[in-house]
Structure 1
Amino acid sequence: MARIDYDEDADASADDTSAPWLRRLATWALAVIGLGLGFLIPYTLYLNHEVGERFGQLRWQVPTRVFARPLQLSPGLAIDARTLKTELDAAGYREGDGRREGSYERSGNRWRISSRGFHDVDGVVKPRRIEVVLGGGRVVSVRDAARRESVKAARLDPARIATLYGQQQEERRLVRIDEVPELLVTGLQAVEDRDFNSHIGIDLTGMVRAAFVNLRSGETRQGASTLTQQLARSGLLGIGREQTLTRKGKEILYALLMEARYDKRTILEAYLNQVYLGQRGAQAIHGVAAGAEFWFGRDLKDLSTEQIALLVGIVKGPSAYDPRRRPEAARERRAIALGEMHEAGLIDDAEYKRALDAPLGVTKTPGHVAANRFPAFVDLVRRQLARDYPANELAGAGLRVMSSMSPSAQAYAEGGVTRTLKSLGKRRAPLQAAVVVTDVEDGGVRAVVGGKDFDTHGFNRAIEAQRPVGSLLKPFVYLLALAEPQKFSLATWVDDSAVQVKLGDGKTWAPKNSDGRSHGSVRLVDALAQSYNQSMVRVGMQVGPARIADLLRTLAGIDARPHPSLILGGTDQSPYAMAQLYQFVASGGEIQPLHAVRGVLDSEGRALKRYDKTPAPAQEGDAIAARLITVGLQQAVTNGTGRQLVGDGLGRLSPAGKTGTSNDGRDSWFAGWTGDYLAVVWVGNDQNETTGLYGATGAMRIWSAMFSRLPSAPLQVGDEGLDWQWVIGSNTTDPECAGARRLPFVAGFAPSYTPCPASQPVYEDESEGSGGWREWFGLDRNDAPATEEERE
């Protein structure tokens, strides 16, 4: 066999020629790998840290929500059908069979209501089905529908009235995955990411399948991105939506890192709370809970199959498939989602066919996610929270602010302003108005109207406007006088002749009655009811301006100059300040700080702080003086400056009230209360021009328009500490005496008794009787203070 010889030198030469190239290639490869690892590892670690930090921030991006007070239904509560429906509608209840949570059914005077569970300041309130019977303008009975037994009271979940956003105006309500309907969770995966439970963040198989499906259908029916990738590129992790390789690469890295750090349940829960589902102006709607409210006005648990399918379908493009603007596109997209759900076995044939034919089921207007429907009231809420919660801490912290607002009282206050100003505006310069309504029992603010354009943010006249209050201060001057029962009573005769007061600068102050007349000797109760100035000044000078100023400071924090003009309202105050002042009398002598916030709850529903503290009981002397003033102001309604309220049909409420008019009719005021509510109303204009209105012809008309619709219990004045007697002249007498009047005295201070005069004369002074000719025309001419010069 021939032997083959090798040329060893040639082989050596070949090795020497190729070796440098191989070495250089290996070196470059190792260098590239080293550089890649040197960059990729730190970059990956950086991204991993960023993912953890930003993912954890989701819980802090939830806006703070402000809720009205929960409506508590109990036998005897003053409420009618219109008001109950207003409250239910405000809270997002739907009229139906009354069996599903958040629904009601009405049959005549019988209402079946299924409330939702909620967290209140005193703990959790569970869902409940109740039957409520109304009759005679009040609740007749309340029964638990499940147990078929009467209950003392039942609370309904409150309406959301505002949302306080952080730096980004995003509507979001966090939900746990257990709170999301199973069909929504599985349907989302069937449509958007079938292999969600098995992939590692990216799904190559899904990409291939999506490409095939889209090619076969001729349209984009499936996307190649997993739910994890969608979450990565959403606003949650700060990746832009530009379509670039860099973005896609970063998205994939984020998705892989999220899958490595978190379990599937956590990722899916984050997605459900983050997914973008619509837009309303500058307000973005994020998360399935907010989306359900925005599109359907429902809670998640109340969504039907077709609504779930539509919500899932909208995920692909809330603008392209907007069911309000593009219903046909939305219907087609919903059909695709239903088809995927049916193919995955999530719904059967019958349900699939039914859902396909069902209407879209969206509300005509966005659901209960509006940013701020009541700017004046929410302004007050912000102010009262400011000392405990800085603005940047309050907005976006996911807190729940439980306010004291009554949706029905707010609606009736707004309606009263709108109707009255419309009727007055035809013959006067542009008018503005402000209203503050409070609860006489606890000082909770029930409604605030800051101006005639009450939907608009801006100058809040109820809180910020400082205007001359006129005769609104007179009851508090008489309050101090009546606190000295040995000197003053409602029956005391006071002099209403011309008066002069020497001032410290040597000048003389000579205020006159608004009608230009003196009325001689009149009872104190009539001087108050008719709002006479001259008798008021005489009593006020005996009391002393300094004591009046001290009283205003104590009751309402009003800092007023102790000048004689203070007696006739020589101070500029806001409607809110006057509501705080009158709350003392309306509550029966209790010092009750007004509050618009009942409490603040954290995102889990735990109470952080409460503001609805029970006020201290009224001191005996304060309570008696408050009762006497209340009786006097009830007289002002029955036969004084507020008597038009009786003509309006409000005599049934036995209200107490005081008109007020500033100089030249620039400001019209009325403060009045019933057994449930106190309302202070101001009417004027921002230019401080003459309006030609008195208290009774301007502000009191708004009060009347409001209380003509707002159910309320009649005002009843207790007798504790009082001694009611019939009086004639300066003595008590028998009720049979002609001209005798029944008035209350502080117990132990009633004047001496005298029998009826033998001749039985009838007292003819007009102040003791009907009020004279002015009453025929309903004129309010005696509540204006002195001129500007006199007030100075």
Structure 2
Amino acid sequence: MPRIEDDTRRPRRQNTGERRGDWRRRLLTWGLVAAALVLGFLIPYTIYLNHQVVERFGQLQWQLPTRVYARPLTLVPGMALDAATLKTELDAASYRDDGAGVRPGTYQHEGRRWRIASRGFQDVGGKVGPSRIQVVIAGGKVAELRDLARDQAIRSAVLDPARIATLYGQKQEERRLVQIDDVPELLVTGLQAVEDRDFADHHGIDLSGMARALFVTVKSGGETLQGGSTLTQQLARSGLLGIGQEQTATRKFNEILYALLIESHYDKRTILETYMNQVYLGQRGNQEIRGMAAGAEYWFGRDLRDLNTAQIALLIGMVKGPSAYDPRRNPEAATGRRNFALEKFHETGLISAEELEQAKAAPLGITDAPGSTSANRFPAYVDLVRRQLARDYPAGALQGAGLSVMTAMSPSAQAYAEGAVAGTLKALDTEKRPPLQAGLVVTDVHDGAVRAVVGSREFARHGFNRAIEARRPVGSVIKPFVYLLALAQPGRWSLASWLDDSPVTVTLDTGKRWTPGNSDGRSHGSVRLMDALAHSYNQATVRLGMEVGPERVADLLRTLSGVDAKANPSLILGALDQSPYAMAQLYQFLASGGEVQPLHAVRGVIDQDGKVVKRYDTTPAPAQEGDAIAARLVTIALQHAVTNGTGRRLVADGLGHLNAAGKTGTSNDSRDSWFAGWTGDHLAVVWVGNDQNEPTGLYGATGAMRVWSSIFARLPSAPLQVSDDGLDWEWVEGSHGTDPDCPGARRFAFVAGFTLPYQPCYRYESDPYYDQGAPADEADEPGFWERLFGGGRGRELDPARRVPPPPPAEPPPPSPR
């Protein structure tokens, strides 16, 4: 039986028209669905991108680094300054000698005359405008100061400060924002001539340019990659997409969308200004160089406005690839790219044929070092800056905040201090001596400003800051404050007072007996108070300190520097661990003439708009009269220490003209070497020792004082002149005032109204009451100070050996004093 098929299961044959209609409907449906999907994705995505454009480019919310500056150099006629130091200051601030000194940031040097064109800057005291001045240096001083614009003598001039550090945020981006009006015209037009000739006419993308680029690339078989991106696309790529990522179709699509959105929101001027501040121009480690202004500083060490035609062309040429055209690594490639940009300048009529040839023949003009964009060239000093700002700014608040931190650092003082540490320690290195380290602080005696800090002999490295963190036994540098307390009681003590430098024993609270000796192992009998300090006699100092009271010594240290010391008898001889910075704060009281001056490394903080947020350079309170007089007396004694005592080698070093005051210090077993000394302008406290606390064999005079001497052999500083206010000078012999021509007489300063009673001189060798048999101490030969004032310690005898003369028949007439 034949099989019967079910017709209902067969496909029904359709005619051609029906099939074509179904296909069209399906295609339309699929198209509508696809369009809906695309629009459904593209519209929200475009809105998202639009939000990013507005947030990023509309508000220009870049994370700007906080910049740290040295103090501005203030020039005043008569101030101590030499040519080498002025050049050091100008070099630090990126000035250059162009032989003219007309353009800002340049100078001209001819013999004693310097012509300097400053840039102007915002300081804590207000805006300082640019200027052109002439400085004449003669005899180690500023002999003349003139304003060249007005052709007249002026009382002072201020040069813009050097940048010493940069505090970055999360992104290590070096950037300096500029407005389009501050950008050289050739840079604005030249950038368009090289990178985007149709910038003024397109709407974000250049279809014809993209077609040309594609044609060149295809024609070369991929060997020549022709760029077709507009400046707006480059800005979108750099600002929102980031750099260093592989180019893909998705990234290119995003780049085009960004460019179109940017052009729809902002005018050409804003776009171009943003490009100038965003363009990537190099890399220093993990630090990106962003923007034309930062690029000019990094590559040429110049302000953007000071670039010449060839340098502008090189900067524009490097936009294509800062790594490929790095002029330090690839000078030939950089030169070729620069010349290519110059040719484009000429083609578009921006420069003449003559200018083209001159610019091509010019050197690249790159600085040897990468400008002043280094994150931190002075780690020890910046460490102090951070510490002093910590009480007002939480950790990290300064980084990337776009602030300007104005410090008190002197680039020349810092350079001389670093050189002194490196050179002196190298000279002191021996195979038998353990590795030496150092820490020092240099301050201004007038206001407590910290001019230099060195925390290590490897001063450029970050690490342990010995100037601030190292706490080492201070030894004899504490002694002047024992004598200060004594001299503050003029009814009991004066510089001419006699002290007993014989063996002494002190019973401690524990019941133990303490018997300190002198460093030379000798006792010196009765000695003048001034000599006991100048020669650092321990036995005499302990006797004086026990009379003054260790408790008062501890209180004084706490008052002057915040040092918390235990009031033990051993404190009198420096049984105290402190840092060079703490000792500098203590000595600032003496160096300032009795003023309490808190040391400060920061002068002030300025925000992005030039507004002063905080000032730290307050005027110190005047010294109280009693403090000032006592400080002067100690200073006179420590000047004697330099001319005739433990610091006398400074005079041999040729520093006698400074009339410096200073005190050496040495801890037990010569583990620590100290010196604190000051002139009319500067105080420096130096420590030299070993990190493992091993004996170094160095005394204060053979270690730390050598560093101090090396600093002040180069650092211009005024001689120390001690005021006579509140003082009376008197010639003294024995325990009485006497006549200047009396043998053995010495001249001493006394608190006014507390001079010794006058007694005529009866101690000539022919006088029967003169004890000719009393021997003089060989160690007390007259030195510079005694010879200067006509006396000598070698002519004085122990009062116990003197036979007092009989009273005169009638009182002698008063002698003028």
1:191 aligns with 2:194: yes
In the other structure, the counterpart of 2:782 is: 770
Q: Judging changes above 3 Å, is the alpha-carbon distance between structure 1 residues 566 and 451 closer, same or farther for their aligned structure 2 residues?
A: same
Amino acid at match of 1:633: L
Give the match's secondary structure for 1:744. Answer: strand
Deviation track 1:406-449 (CA, whole Å, cap 9, x = no partner) reads 11111111111112111110352211111110000011111111
Match of 1:138 among 115, 137, 141: 141
Give the match's secondary structure for 2:415. Answer: helix
1:461: how far off? 0.4
Amino acid at match of 1:375: P
In the other structure, the counterpart of 1:334 is: 338
Deviation track 1:552-577 (CA, whole Å, cap 9, x = no partner) reads 11111111111111111111000000
Q: Judging changes above 3 Å, is the alpha-carbon distance between structure 1 residues 478 and 157 closer, same or farther for their aligned structure 2 residues?
A: same
In the other structure, the counterpart of 2:276 is: 272
1:236: how far off? 4.8
In the other structure, the counterpart of 2:120 is: 117
Deviation track 1:588-631 (CA, whole Å, cap 9, x = no partner) reads 11111111111111123221111111101111111111101100
Deviation track 1:331-371 (CA, whole Å, cap 9, x = no partner) reads 11112111212111111222122222222222233222222
Q: Which moved more, 1:397-406 or 1:251-260?
A: 251-260
Match of 1:234 among 231, 238, 241: 238
Amino acid at match of 2:649: Q
In the other structure, the counterpart of 1:499 is: 504
Give the match's secondary structure for 1:315. Answer: helix
1:164: how far off? 1.3
1:466: how far off? 0.5
1:590 aligns with 2:592: no
Q: How do 1:179-218 and structure 2 match up within 5 A?
A: 179-211=182-214
Mapped contact 1:376–1:457 kept (Cα < 8 A)? yes
Flag structure 2 segments of 5+ consecutive residues without an equivalent.
1-13, 788-817
Mapped contact 1:161–1:372 kept (Cα < 8 A)? yes
Identity of aligned residues (%): 70
Amino acid at match of 1:71: L
Structure with larger Rg: 2
In the other structure, the counterpart of 1:462 is: 467
In the other structure, the counterpart of 1:48 is: 50
Give the match's secondary structure for 2:370. Answer: coil
Deviation track 1:136-159 (CA, whole Å, cap 9, x = no partner) reads 100001001121100000011111
Mapped contact 1:660–1:695 kept (Cα < 8 A)? yes
1:586: how far off? 0.1
1:21: how far off? 3.9
Tell me, in whole angstroms, the C-alpha distance in 2 between the residues paired with 1:79 and 1:508. 53
Deviation track 1:751-782 (CA, whole Å, cap 9, x = no partner) reads 2111111536699456765379xx9xxxxxxx
Tell me, in whole angstroms, the C-alpha distance in 2 between the residues paired with 1:712 and 1:641. 22
Q: How do 1:290-689 and structure 2 match up within 5 A?
A: 290-426=294-430, 428-689=433-694
Amino acid at match of 1:122: G
In the other structure, the counterpart of 1:784 is: none
In the other structure, the counterpart of 1:720 is: 725
Amino acid at match of 1:404: A
Tell me, in whole angstroms, the C-alpha distance in 2 between the residues paired with 1:545 and 1:238. 66
1:49: how far off? 1.5
In the other structure, the counterpart of 1:169 is: 172
1:215: how far off? 7.5
Q: Which moved more, 1:646-655 or 1:252-261?
A: 252-261
Amino acid at match of 1:770: P
Mapped contact 2:729–2:748 kept (Cα < 8 A)? yes
1:743: how far off? 0.9
How many residues get paired? 762
TM-score normalized with structure 2 length: 0.90
Mapped contact 2:743–2:764 kept (Cα < 8 A)? no
1:99 aligns with 2:115: no
Give the match's secondary structure for 2:429. Answer: helix
Amino acid at match of 1:721: G
1:262: how far off? 2.1
TM-score normalized with structure 1 length: 0.93
Mapped contact 2:105–2:118 kept (Cα < 8 A)? yes
Tell me, in whole angstroms, the C-alpha distance in 2 between the residues paired with 1:563 and 1:341. 79
Mapped contact 1:190–1:340 kept (Cα < 8 A)? yes
Give the match's secondary structure for 2:320. Answer: coil
Deviation track 1:540-560 (CA, whole Å, cap 9, x = no partner) reads 111111111111111111111
Mapped contact 2:71–2:407 kept (Cα < 8 A)? yes
Tell me, in whole angstroms, the C-alpha distance in 1 between the residues paired with 2:15 and 2:207. 49
Amino acid at match of 2:365: G
Tell me, in whole angstroms, the C-alpha distance in 1 between the residues paired with 2:330 and 2:700. 53
Amino acid at match of 1:439: D
Tell me, in whole angstroms, the C-alpha distance in 1 between the residues paired with 2:246 and 2:284. 23
Q: Judging changes above 3 Å, is the alpha-carbon distance between structure 1 residues 558 and 73 closer, same or farther for their aligned structure 2 residues?
A: same
1:327: how far off? 1.5
Flag structure 1 segments of 5+ consecutive residues without an equivalent.
1-11, 776-792
Tell me, in whole angstroms, the C-alpha distance in 2 between the residues paired with 1:227 and 1:630. 67
Q: How do 1:21-60 and structure 2 match up within 5 A?
A: 21-55=23-57, 58-60=60-62
Mapped contact 1:59–1:174 kept (Cα < 8 A)? no
Tell me, in whole angstroms, the C-alpha distance in 2 between the residues paired with 1:124 and 1:313. 35
Q: Which moved more, 1:465-474 or 1:55-64?
A: 55-64
1:525: how far off? 0.5
Amino acid at match of 1:571: L
Tell me, in whole angstroms, the C-alpha distance in 1 between the residues paired with 2:743 and 2:218. 103
Q: Which moved more, 1:208-217 or 1:343-352?
A: 208-217
Tell me, in whole angstroms, the C-alpha distance in 1 between the residues paired with 2:413 and 2:248. 55
CA RMSD of superposed structures (Å): 2.1
Tell me, in whole angstroms, the C-alpha distance in 2 between the residues paired with 1:454 and 1:358. 37
Mapped contact 1:66–1:400 kept (Cα < 8 A)? yes
1:88 aligns with 2:93: no
Give the match's secondary structure for 2:559. Answer: helix
1:269: how far off? 1.2
